[in-house]
Amino acid sequence: MPIPTPKSGETQSDFVSRCISEIYDEYGQEQGAAICYSTWRENRMSKLSTIERAMAKMSEIRKHEGINLYPNGEVNMKEPCWEGYEQYGTKIVDGREVPNCIPQE
């Protein structure tokens, strides 16, 4: 079964609900949700200009700037930030608590 595409004027929650219900039998709830959210993002990004797309990606990257949760493939709680950054408390990113890394002065 082909993956549905968003309809004109359809909200994200409406699309994802419709999409999951259409592909549930083939992919199940979790994988169906991942596919539908990915399809929504790809559809939105395809309508942006090159500059808007680059700015959206930079905004997403900036949310995590300075955070080094898994250096060299393993968790290092002694130094959770990249070189040149220091931890200043924690913050919530995408629903989870992570180190708040700020540039060293």
Residue 81, SS3? strand
Q: Cα(102)–Cα(96) distance, rounded to whole angstroms?
A: 18
pLDDT in tens, 42-99: 887 777 787 887 787 787 777 776 666 555 555 555 677 888 888 888 888 877 788 8
Kindly tell me if the per-residue pLDDT of 18 is higher than 90. Answer: yes
pTM: 0.48
Cα angle, residue 16 at apex, residues 41 and 45 outer, rounded to 5°: 10
Are 67 and 99 within 8 A, CB to CB?
A: yes
Predicted pLDDT of residue 34: 92
Domain boundaries, the chain: 12-59, 64-103
Residue ranges of alpha helices (H) inside the chain are 12-46, 50-62
- Vertex 22: Cα angle to 21 and 25 (nearest 5): 85
Give the C-alpha separation, 18 to 10, whole Å: 10
Q: Write down the pLDDT at residue 69.
A: 59
